[in-house]
Chains A and B, each alone.
Chain A
Amino acid sequence: MTSYPRHIPTAGGTPVHPSLLPKVGGPAPSHYPIANLHRQHVDLEEPGPDPERRILAHDDVARWLHSEAFVRLLAFVQAASHASVGKTCTGARSELEEAGDEAHPAIRTLLALLDTLDRWIDETPPEPQRARFGNKAFRTWMERLNTELPALVDPFPSVARLDLIAYLSDSFGNATRLDYGSGHELAFVCFLTCLDVVRFFADDDLSYVAVVVFARYLEVVRRIQETYTLEPAGSHGVWGLDDFQFVSYYWGSAQLIDHEHLTPRCITKKDVVSHFARDYMYLACIDFIYKMKQGPFFEHSPMLYDISGVPLWSKVNSGLLKMYIAEVLSKFPIVQHMKFGELLPFRPVDALTV
């Protein structure tokens, strides 16, 4: 039986109460928030080994939850959330443009990469023949990704090369099954975490990582999902947040914290969602659901519908992080596919040094 972390380590200060407890027969998750972690950086002189799977049996999940990789990932994910509070995607894009071509090179490099991948979709149209479900042209797109990856990661720190290739190759879906799921989204978040760990992002880049870079990633994967009719990989159905994404909602909810007019309830209004989708990732995701699913919203997306009843975006935000840890990061069927190298190491975290 999976055991959840007994504590999430904190950077000095008071120890944290368990925010999650084992599910079977155990009490409900506590109200205590997850501690704020500091972003982790390393200065590697040499590249580490090619990342490998390490979660091979259910017992390994607990090891993952107590690993350095987990802390580094969580710290980065939290930091990107904090840096997104109150920022719109459109506003952030304008800021970038105004700052000039020389500013925020890290962000621009990532956008160029995503633009390239987007262009490949145009160059690899879906095949007309009827396969089981997903379109086989996606295999062609993925082959191109895997062939070009070594060149694609050239602009990034060479010490992270193997890690970046490993995570990027898993970020867009599975070529054999023609599916996409939260594990693929997680791989992309790992990719971004690795870049942060090797100090690719300047501190003032952080506010663009989620609302510009990740927002662009979402545009690309939504196109891929739609164009190649990818299956929802391991969807939790009505018991999950979304067939494909999760972090998008977490980072997206941060954008809406303290918004004057848009409350969590607004997602039930299709026209409001559609109007503000370009500004807010959370709403863009809901907009996509309205586009792709049939029937009443409360029937096909009950979790998101229930969350719309939460009074504050800040509560949505903190709740989603807990839910992400419990429903995605702690689940063997998803994390069994994760890879670990030197930038996201499987070794146990020393809580005192965090």
Chain B
Amino acid sequence: MGTSDLDRQIAQLRKCELIKESEVRELCNKAREILIEEANVQRVDAPVTICGDIHGQFYDLMELFSVGHDCPDTNYLFMGDFVDRGFYSVETFLLLLALKVRYPDRITLIRGNHESRQITQVYGFYDECLRKYGSVNVWRYCCEIFDYLALAALVDDRILCVHGGLSPSITTLDQIRTIDRKQEVPHDGAMCDLLWSDPEEIDGWGVSPRGAGYLFGGDVVAAFLHANNLELIARAHQLVMEGYKHMFKDTVVTVWSAPNYCYRCGNVAAILELDDKLNRNFVIFHPASQDARGIPAKKATPDYFL
């Protein structure tokens, strides 16, 4: 697959048009070759723009690229949860993956808790693949790629980016590096916690109401930052009305990039721009206007009602 093929596919995906199943397979093969070389904690150089959950909101991703400027002119780091819930998980993920293959050093994709076979069978990505391609092959190819995604990213050795949060099993970055990540997200343990945990106003660790991962307090964060010589943990995973939210004296920030989540929440979205000195600038954006949004294909009557 040459560069011009890839550029054509990117152009197609940018118009929210699907690429063929055979092209998906080839794209995933290429992506695997790149991702397999990435570390569990992938090193990223500033300047970079950090983004949170997208959840298949393709037209809002277009809005994100509009305010943040296109890749590769801007370097991007997406913190997972590309799929599920929205109409366009397929187009969203394949575009980001194609950009990764085309500009591997300009975009970093790390894994969210939704990049999982089990979760995507509940929350929509599986259904979407089946509906759009008539088979589960694209879903299978994508799930295999999910297994190769890095678990975290480290910007200039100072800012750790992870989808969920911290784990009681992890006190050092080296411990993250020793995980065997090439598997389905486990139900518990360090790899699960990194993708599922949430910061909370508590001391120490707490049971997570999600049923996976943990709640972790400011004292845990302070200790972790100190032990690893970090200044900030950037993460996603939780809806934020104002697009981003600091906690624990700005040592944790949640970045959420899906505006008007579920068409009801009325939230804005945010991206975090880091310049080459790691200065932080949050850019807020709103959902794409109604006329910028495509019309989702009408679906047949669900099988249950036949």
Contacts and interface: CB of A to CB of B under 8 A. Distances in A.
18 contacts: A58-B118, A58-B187, A229-B241, A235-B85, A236-B85, A238-B87, A295-B263, A298-B298, A299-B296, A302-B299, A303-B302, A306-B298, A307-B301, A309-B301, A310-B305, A316-B305, A326-B304, A333-B119
A25 interface: yes
Contacts, number: 126
Interface in B274-306: 290, 293, 295-296, 298-306
Contacts of A174: 209
A83 to B, nearest CB: 22
Contacts of B145: none
A31 B209 contact: no
B254 interface: yes
Interface in A224-238: 229, 231-232, 234-238
A319 B240 contact: no
B41 to A, nearest CB: 26
Interface in A20-60: 23-25, 28-29, 31, 57-58
Contact of A307 (B123, B245, B302): B302
Given A29-B303, A57-B187, A295 B290 contact: yes
Nearest to A320: B304
Interface string B66-92: 000000000000000000111100000
Contacts of A293: 262-264
B269 interface: no
A237 B121 contact: no
Q: Is the interface of A mostly helix, strand, loop or mixed?
A: loop
A138 to B, nearest CB: 13
Nearest to A337: B211
Interface in B236-281: 238-242, 245, 254, 260, 262-267
A315 B305 contact: yes
Interface of B: 55-56, 84-87, 118-119, 121-124, 126-128, 136, 187, 200, 209-211, 215, 238-242, 245, 254, 260, 262-267, 290, 293, 295-296, 298-306
Contact of A130 (B85, B209, B242): B242
Contacts of A25: 136
Nearest to B306: A31
A333 B211 contact: yes
A29 B136 CA distance: 17
Given A294-B260, A294-B266, A302-B299, 19 more contacts: A24-B136, A29-B303, A132-B238, A132-B240, A132-B241, A133-B238, A133-B267, A236-B84, A236-B85, A237-B84, A296-B290, A300-B264, A302-B87, A306-B298, A306-B299, A319-B304, A322-B304, A331-B122, A332-B122
Nearest to A312: B305
Q: Is the interface of B mostly helix, strand, loop or mixed?
A: loop
A25 B137 CA distance: 10
A302 B187 contact: no
Contacts of A243: 262, 264
B33 to A, nearest CB: 27
A106 interface: no
Interface of A: 23-25, 28-29, 31, 57-58, 130-133, 174, 176-177, 229, 231-232, 234-240, 243, 292-296, 298-300, 302-303, 306-307, 309-310, 315-316, 319-320, 322-323, 326, 331-333, 336-337
Contacts of B254: 132
Contact of A176 (B209, B263, B306): B209
A84 B259 CA distance: 39
Contact of A23 (B87, B121, B260, B301): B121
Contacts of A234: 123
B241 A133 contact: yes
Contacts of B210: 177
Nearest to B56: A237
Contacts of B127: 239
A293 B264 CA distance: 4
B204 to A, nearest CB: 15
B239 A306 contact: no
A231 B200 CA distance: 16
Given A237-B85, A294-B263, A231 B215 contact: no
A55 to B, nearest CB: 10
Given A132-B254, A177-B210, A309-B301, A300 B296 contact: no
A302 B296 contact: yes
B122 A237 contact: no
Nearest to B210: A177
Contacts of A231: 239, 265
A28 B187 CA distance: 28
A298 B126 CA distance: 20
B304 A29 contact: yes
A132 B298 contact: no
A167 to B, nearest CB: 17
Nearest to A131: B241
Contacts of B209: 174, 176-177
Contacts of B267: 133
Nearest to B295: A299
B2 to A, nearest CB: 34
What are the 3 closest A-B residue pairs judged by CB atoms, nearest first?
Answer: A237-B85, A239-B124, A319-B305
